[in-house]
Amino acid sequence: MPYKLWFGVFEDELKLAEKFEDSFVNAVNEKPIPFNVAELGIKVLGREYYRTLRRVAIGVAEKRIREELSSDERYIISLVKALESVEEIINVLKEKEEDLEANAIGEKFLEAIENMKELRDEIEREIDVVMAKIAPNLYEVAGAKLGAKLIEKFGGIKKLAFASSNKIQIIGAERSLYKAIARMKRGKDAKIPKHGIIFLHGFVRNLPKKKRGKMARFLASKISIAAKIDYFRGELDEGLFESVKRRFEELRREK
């Protein structure tokens, strides 16, 4: 005989309902009902009973977190693509700006550029908010914009977390990498790219060219760690950013 409890359905003796997880998720109690089977006068092995309840509760919680995270990741990816489209439009409009300034539609044209810039800023603010929520460590180490672009490039935080630091370092420069490899196979000299979109990070971009490779390699390793922490734990590790900052200062002072 099944018994309805606050968390779902409990069947006879020591057996929990086969679809207990569904019962747990969908449990709706309109009035006070027993907290556990002991209140019904049923004898059970408490350890087994509560172990099962705990396992299911944790499993349901993790599932909901993953679903929410997945939804936010899709949103971030959409925001990045929208941002890239807006930035492309702004660049195209700027190229035509001088030609149209003297024209009768010059004022409207300039207004259109400003509107697109405002939209870009709004998207960037939204990326900042969402990234701080779903990937606090990646947000701290890479920054909101670069972190979001990395999530978009890899297709999610999980894939980024399991990617090698070498892959993170050169993502976005695949075309240059393949060309370099092709040239080397033909016995020609070629330069292997030292960084891809990771160059957007100020700690890489603001160093002399000869030091950027070292910084990009170090940063990529920390981004990999940050993504893993965000995926598995989600707790902020402030030491990560500090280590990246220290490495930047060391390379900046290095002669």
CA distance 74 to 135: 13
Provide the residue ranges of all domains of the chain, joining segments of one domain with +.
3-44, 67-134, 135-255
Q: Compute the average pLDDT of residues 224-233.
A: 92
3-class secondary-structure state, position 10 = strand
Concatenated DSSP letters of 86-116: HHHHHHHHHHHHHHHHTSTTHHHHHHHHHHH
- pTM exceeding the 0.85 threshold for the entire prediction: no
CA–CA gap between residue 113 and residue 98 (Å, rounded): 13
Run of H or E residues at 12? none
pLDDT surpasses 60 at 228: yes
- Average pLDDT, stretch 101-129? 82
Integer angstrom CA distances of residue 219 from 90, 177, 215, 233: 30, 19, 6, 20
**Average pLDDT of the chain, as a whole number:** 79
11: its two tokens: 């069947």
Measured CA to CA, the distance from residue 99 to residue 34 in angstroms comes to 78
Tell me yes or no: is domain 135-255 CATH 1.10.260.40. Answer: no
Give the integer Cα–Cα distance in Å for 226 and 236. 9
Assess whether pLDDT exceeds 80 at residue 254: yes
Residue 189 amino acid letter: D
pLDDT at 146: 96
* Percent of the chain clearing pLDDT 70 (strictly above): 69
Tens-digit pLDDT profile for residues 35-78: 454 554 545 445 565 666 666 666 666 666 566 556 788 889 88
* Nearest alpha carbon to residue 35 among 7, 10, 58, 15: 7
Which segments within the chain are labelled E, that is strand? 3-5, 8-10
Opening angle at CA 138, ends 72 and 89, nearest 5: 65
CATH code for 67-134? Answer: 1.10.287.660
Residue 207 has pLDDT above 90, yes or no: yes
Pick from 222, 230, 23, 252: nearest CA to 133: 230
